[in-house]
Amino acid sequence: MADLVTNDPQIAAIIENETTRQEQGLNLIASENTVSRSVLAAQGSVLTNKYAEGYPARRYYGGCDFVDQAEDLAIARAKKLFHAPYANVQAHSGSQANMAVYFALLNPGDRILAMGLSHGGHLTHGAAASFSGRLFEFAHYGLTPDTEVIDMDQVADLAKSFKPRLIVAGASAYSRIIDFQAFAEIAASVHALFMVDMAHIAGLVAGGVHPTPVGYADVITSTTHKTLRGPRGGLILGSEDLAVKINAQIFPGIQGGPLMHVIAAKAVAFNEAMQPDFARYQQQVVANASVLADALMSRGYKLVSNGTDNHMVLMDLTDKPLTGKEAETRLGRAGITVNKNTVPNEKKGPFVTSGIRIGVPLITSRGMKPDAVQQIARLICDVLDDVAAVDRVASQVKDLCRQYPLYPGEVR
Ligand SMILES: *Cc1c(COP(=O)(O)O)cnc(C)c1O
């Protein structure tokens, strides 16, 4: 950092400001987390200097001995962590992991059945603005109107009538356990392939607090930076027989040189995720989300599906005099960061929305437990109930964050 301060004070100041923002703000974005110093060290290393197109021992560049070791370790650890026969650790992001799998298993124009965006699915699950929606034909399933859980009858019906070549399970905004076995049975019954996109829940799966898709899905994609608490990137798992096809679609199919510094950081994160502390962390995440859900509902706020089994809750503000966008902005002024989110049967569109998504992975990484979570729920409801509470809550948020440093023991 000392060199950066001298050589590029503008960027150094931006990093310093962002560090302060992260330290002093209450970040409840469900897809974010805070990585260890070890992950940061690997990601900020000289491995960024190395070109290594290809795969370990089969590179298009010389000098790859050490980065080969890093990638071999990352692969071995990913396989061990998830008990998967095959892993590709080169995808630059979750979206690229999905793109590579679609390209490996399907032809342009083929049919895919996935969760609808407004019900919690991801852009790469067939949004018109995404490559996925442009290149493939999608049908979408959603939630049941009453209980607001994934409508497995609808999945089965669409599987029969739409005849997809691939069925995708996985979501960006869904607070319940996903029944991978039921999906796998439906896929088998229509001779479709089955992919699980566990981008959000990979850490919960690794920590044993969400059932694993391994053994049910033909292929699994993920990010490494959400609940898994690694560097920003993607991951693909599957059976050995898909290895050649998927590897070839990542490189040279859709990517060039792999980000070896990120791959080394993934290896560090996978190792961290195999430690007993990590399972305890994930148990705490689920416990914290459950406490948050109960506390919000006891103040009269409705949650999609009336609660949570995982790391986040979806607040449905349809009956409140407040849009998702307004709630996001108002909470932001109080130092609480959430994101607006569509709710099932959204009437207000994706830029305004009628809901917010609230996640606890990051605050749990900071060491917060149910007492802090109770307090956070109170602060959220105070602000949403009454805009006049913003200033008072903002100062309480700062006090709370001071008690839970991002990197304990560090002098800044
Ligand atoms: C976050 C997410 C992705 C994409 O990850 P990026 O790294 O942002 O490209 C894909 N699928 C799901 C379900 C996600 O939640």
Q: Which residues contact 188 (CB under 8 A, 6 or more apart)?
A: 194
Confirm whether 232 is a catalytic residue. yes
Tokens 């130092």 label which residue? 335
Active site residue 197: yes
Q: Checking phi first, is residue 54 left (phi over 0); if not, alpha (psi -120 to 50) or beta?
A: left
Say how far residue 344 (Cα) sits from the centre of its chain: 20
Q: Let me know if 399 is a catalytic residue.
A: no
Cis peptide before 145 (omega within 30 of 0): no
User: Which residue's C-alpha comes closest to atom 1 of ligand 1?
Assistant: 199
Question: Domain-by-domain residue ranges, the chain?
Answer: 40-274, 280-403
Instruction: For residue 151, report the distance from its CA to the centre of ligand 1, in Å.
Output: 22
Binding site: what residues are annotated?
117, 121-123, 240
Domains 40-274 and 280-403 share a fold: no
Q: Look up 223 and say whether it is catalytic.
A: yes
How far apart are the C-alpha atoms of 112 and 318, rounded to whole Å?
A: 31
> Residue 176 belongs to what H/E stretch?
none
User: Which residues contribute to the annotated binding site for (6S)-5,6,7,8-tetrahydrofolate?
Assistant: 117, 121-123, 240
CB-side neighbour CA atoms (13 Å) of 246: 26
**What is the C-alpha R_g of the chain?**
21
Q: Provide CB contacts within 8 A for 190, sequence distance 6+.
A: 159, 160, 163, 164
Which CATH architecture is the domain 280-403 placed in?
Alpha-Beta Complex (3.90)
Best probe residue, ligand 1, of 115, 223, 339 (max atoms within 8 Å of C-beta): 223
- Mutation pick for ligand 1 pocket among 92, 115, 124 (CB with most ligand atoms within 8 Å): 124
From 122, 228, 236, mutation site for ligand 1 pocket: most ligand atoms within 8 A of C-beta:
122
Q: Give pLDDT, residue 101.
A: 98
CA–CA distances in Å: residue 55 to residues 51, 78, 85, 172, 190: 11, 16, 17, 30, 35
- Return phi, psi of residue 28, to 5°: -115, 25
Closest residue by Cα to atom 15, ligand 1, is 172
Q: Please tell me the distance between residue 398's alpha carbon and the centre of ligand 1 in angstroms.
A: 30
pLDDT along the chain (412 residues), means of 10: 91 96 96 97 98 97 97 98 98 98 98 94 96 98 96 98 98 97 98 98 98 98 98 97 96 98 98 98 98 98 98 97 97 97 90 96 97 98 97 97 87 52
CATH T-level topology, domain 40-274:
Aspartate Aminotransferase; domain 2 (3.40.640)
pLDDT of 184 reads 98
8 is catalytic: no
Other residues' Cβ atoms within 10 Å of the Cβ of residue 18: 10
Q: Report which protein residue has its CA nearest ligand 1's atom 10.
A: 94
CA distance 365 to 269: 14
